[in-house]
Amino acid sequence: MNIHPGRGKMYNAEAADLGLLCLSGGRPMSLSNENELVLSAQAGDSRAFGSLYDLYFDKIYRYLHYRLQNREVSEDLASQTFLKALQKLGSFDPGKGNFSAWLYRIARNTLFDHYRTGHPAAELGAAEDISSGNLEREVEARLKLKAVKEELERLSPEQKDIVLLRVWDGLSYKEIAEILGKTEGSCQMAFSRAVVKLKEGFPAMAVLLLLMNVF
């Protein structure tokens, strides 16, 4: 099966960057159906893996794009993530973990590998990543994102990671715990402490985080 970098839905800068302010929508696939696809893919059914690719490409792309702020590199690393997942699929046990958490863990490691090879994160508002469709709106969106990012830097690396995975990526505490190798309780506690810290400098953002965590 070929992995196509541009196959997933692409987001414009405003939709992708301000996605931090809302949880992912859409009706999630049931775990049993997802596991059926995984088992079929492990048995050699390329269509089943294609369905998993279609289901998760956008989410993995968003995960990478927020952290890189570079569309081309994010597409490339998302494709690498799925290629690695395909190569390692036989080692995944649906009975011992969640496929989405396993996939995010691969994406996270792929991102770390990218940084380790000396590639810096793209600067916020890089010209190559701003489309010509509505420059004014996209610049405004990036300025708002910059303010959010500055506040997130007040958090510890662990708190920041958990906030992004919970709010930006829309993952459950169970999935986050699997990705980070922690307990659900410790992830919930870290999120709560992050909200308290953010209240000091960005009260509106803290309220939004609390609302998103409830709903």
Q: 129 and 215 in one domain? A: no
Q: How far apart are CA 64 and CA 108, in angstroms?
A: 8
CB 75 within 8 A of CB 11: no
Angle between helices 184-201 and 173-180 (to 10 degrees): 100
> At which of 136, 152, 168 does a domain end?
152
Q: 159 and 146 in one domain? A: no
CATH of the domain at 179: 1.10.10
Q: When comparing pLDDT for 61 and 7, which is higher? A: 61
Q: What percentage of the chain exceeds 70 in pLDDT? A: 65
Q: 214 and 125 in one domain? A: no
Q: 114 and 163 in one domain? A: no
Q: How far apart are CA 6 and CA 79, in angstroms?
A: 9
CATH of the domain at 75: 1.10.1740.10
When divided into structural domains, the chain yields a total of: 2
Q: 31 and 120 in one domain? A: yes
Q: 115 and 61 in one domain? A: yes
Q: What is the pTM of this model?
A: 0.69
Mind listing the pLDDT tens digit for each residue in 56-112? 999 999 999 888 888 999 999 999 999 999 999 999 998 888 999 999 999 999 999
Torsion angle (degrees, nearest 10) of CA 112, 7, 167, 175: -70
Q: 202 and 103 in one domain? A: no
Q: 213 and 130 in one domain? A: no
Q: 58 and 16 in one domain? A: yes
In the prediction, which pLDDT does 67 show?
85
Mind listing the pLDDT tens digit for each residue in 112-158? 999 888 765 544 444 344 444 555 555 455 545 666 777 788 888 89
User: How many angstroms separate the Cα of 126 from the Cα of each of 9, 85, 150, 168, 201?
Assistant: 21, 30, 17, 21, 27
Domain enclosing residue 129, as ranges: 1-152
Q: 176 and 80 in one domain? A: no
Q: 116 and 53 in one domain? A: yes
Q: 52 and 20 in one domain? A: yes
**Burial grade of 27 (CB within 10 A; 0-12, 13-18, 19 or more):** exposed
